[in-house]
Amino acid sequence: MPALTAVARTAEGFLERASDWDRDLAAELAAESGVGPLTDRHWLVLDYMRNTYLVKGDGPTIRTLGKESGVDIKELYQLFPKGPAKLAARIAGIPKPHGCI
């Protein structure tokens, strides 16, 4: 199990390699970002983000996240108050989302 201090990260704290990620690392990333402890609701979002990235090569937009992750926009902001798309991407071990939406 890689510890957070042992993995390469960008200046903003995103993992350099999505393959370094595991669920324990996510808990460490969450704690560091002031999110959590991670609940099933957080995991619904994190798994959705990670799967989208692995399939499409980029994380979902906030609109898609609200429609398809199983967690609506209001709850997304309760779970990740400091910005759901970006924070969830960081915790899910995927790169920072590229879009403006």
**Of 19-27, 36-44, 46-54, 76-84, which part binds another protein (CB under 8 A)?**
76-84
**How many helices (DSSP H) and strands (DSSP E) are in the chain?**
5, 0
Kindly name the residue from 11, 55, 100, 101 that is annotated as catalytic: 100
Residues near 97 by beta carbon (within 8 Å), at least 6 away in sequence: 58, 59, 60, 61, 85, 86, 89
Indicate whether 12 belongs to the interface with another protein (CB under 8 A).
yes
Question: What are the φ and ψ backbone dihedral angles of 9, each rounded to 5 degrees?
Answer: -135, 160
- Site residues for another protein, 41-60, by CB under 8 A, read none
Q: Is 73 a catalytic residue?
A: no
Which residues contact another protein by CB under 8 A? 4-5, 12-13, 32-34, 61-64, 66, 72-74, 77, 81-87, 90, 99-101
Q: Which residues are tagged catalytic?
A: 100
